[in-house]
Amino acid sequence: MQFCQLPDGSLSYLDSDSADREKPVVLLLHSSASMSGQWRRHMERLAGRYRLLAPDLVGYGRTPMTPGEPTLADEIARLAALAERLGRPFHVVGHSYGGAVALELARALGPRVLGLALFEPVAFHLLRAAGATAAWQEIEAVAQRHFALVADGALVAAAEAFTRYWMGPGAFARMAPEVQARVASVMPKVAAEFRMMLGLQHGLGAYRSFRMPVLLMSGGRSPLAARRTAEILCAALPDPTWEILPRAGHMAPVTDPELVNGLIAAFLDANIGASAGALRRPAEPARLARA
């Protein structure tokens, strides 16, 4: 694996095999406050079968921040440039914020995205669109608290609150000091991501036209807002594969990588080379999501 960059330096990414132009391509998008290295174990598992690219999203790892506050358009533009450089269609795997970016990338690039494997994409605007009041109020309160802490320059407190919400009490304290410092340093970018996700205006219909295969995963121990967003999206998509991991939380791709990576690998193996929408997917999860 090696780090590569777009020619203009606007995006850095891990590439499992930049010399191989024949393997199917899979793009791996990390969560908030993370970086491309989140996917190293997954890349090691699948590198023999696929060419895997894991970008550092805007403001993370080796990818620079934008001059002003980044927008979703900034994320999509850089990923679209990478897609143009690849020159062929690809699958996308995304976790949390990376999952939400994957959804918007699929909307922007259409048939160039062959399939999506998503773990709890934080497309929180769907809570508002679906009238999921309790979940919307929960995540809005989390975001408002985050905005206030970042505005006050209390980045360590913001990081502690952020990790507590997503990973449970004591999560920040258990991190190594250098990891704590890195996570605290990106809290302004996380604030921008909250604004992006809460501010999107398109509704459920934006995803009903998807025809590519979609694997949607959710943890039974995740926060309400993440679980309800996944359920609402599941109901909106035409025919997704739906996997609930009862004992997993929102950070399962990091804390339980073998479990999540196994599901992703099976999905990719089953769908690479298949026509969009051709595979059977169970209808029961969609009924569950509407309940």
Q: What is the 3-state secondary structure (H, E, C) of 214-279?
A: EEEEEECCCCHHHHHHHHHHHHHCCCCEEEEECCCCCCHHHHCHHHHHHHHHHHHHHHCCCCCCCC
Q: Are residues 166 and 183 in the same domain?
A: yes
Residue 103 pLDDT greater than 90, yes or no: yes
The DSSP-derived string for 174-221 is TS-HHHHHHHHHTHHHHHHHHHHHHH----THHHHT--S-EEEEEETT
Q: Are residues 91 and 231 in the same domain?
A: yes
Give the pLDDT confidence score for residue 274 in this predicted structure: 53
Last residue of one domain, picked from the residues 142, 170, 197: 197
Packed helices 155-167 and 187-199: angle between N→C axes, nearest 10 degrees: 60
Pairing of strands 51-55, 12-15: antiparallel
Q: Are residues 280 and 137 in the same domain?
A: no
Q: Are residues 230 and 281 in the same domain?
A: yes
What band does 35 get if pLDDT is binned at 50, 70 and 90? very high
Give the pLDDT confidence score for residue 281 in this predicted structure: 38
Residue 7 pLDDT greater than 90, yes or no: no
- The percent of residues in the chain predicted with pLDDT above 70, rounded, is 93
User: How many domains in the chain?
Assistant: 2
Give the pLDDT confidence score for residue 288 in this predicted structure: 35
Tokens at residue 36, please?
A: 């491309």
Tokens at residue 88, please?
A: 């062929």
d(CA 15, CA 37): 11
| Average pLDDT of the residues in 51-70 | 95
Last residue of one domain, picked from the residues 197, 225, 242: 197
d(CA 221, CA 256): 13
Task: Look over the chain and give the mean of its residue pLDDT values, rounded to a whole number.
Answer: 91
CB 245 within 8 A of CB 215: no
Q: Are residues 137 and 117 in the same domain?
A: no
Q: Are residues 150 and 276 in the same domain?
A: no
Residue with tokens 């990891």: 179
Range of the domain at 144: 133-197
Q: Are residues 30 and 78 in the same domain?
A: yes
Last residue of one domain, picked from the residues 169, 197, 225: 197
The secondary structure element, H or E, covering residue 116 is: strand 113-119
Residue 1 pLDDT greater than 70, yes or no: no
pTM of the model: 0.92
d(CA 218, CA 228): 9
Tokens at residue 70, please?
A: 């980044």
Residue 36 pLDDT greater than 90, yes or no: yes
Q: Are residues 160 and 82 in the same domain?
A: no
Residue 286 pLDDT greater than 70, yes or no: no
Q: Are residues 81 and 208 in the same domain?
A: yes
Q: Are residues 148 and 114 in the same domain?
A: no
Q: Are residues 164 and 262 in the same domain?
A: no
Largest CA distance in the chain: 51
- Digit-coded pLDDT (tens) for 168-221: 999 999 999 999 999 999 999 999 999 999 999 999 999 999 999 999 999 999
Q: Are residues 27 and 118 in the same domain?
A: yes
CATH number of the domain that residue 209 is part of: 3.40.50.1820
Give the pLDDT confidence score for residue 5 in this predicted structure: 80
| Average pLDDT of the residues in 100-112 | 97
- Digit-coded pLDDT (tens) for 229-259: 999 999 999 999 999 999 999 999 999 999 9
Give the pLDDT confidence score for residue 3 in this predicted structure: 74
What band does 22 get if pLDDT is binned at 50, 70 and 90? confident
More confident residue, 28 or 46: 28
Question: What is the Cα Rg of the chain in Å?
Answer: 18
- Digit-coded pLDDT (tens) for 72-88: 999 999 999 999 999 99
Give the pLDDT confidence score for residue 282 in this predicted structure: 34
What band does 273 get if pLDDT is binned at 50, 70 and 90? low
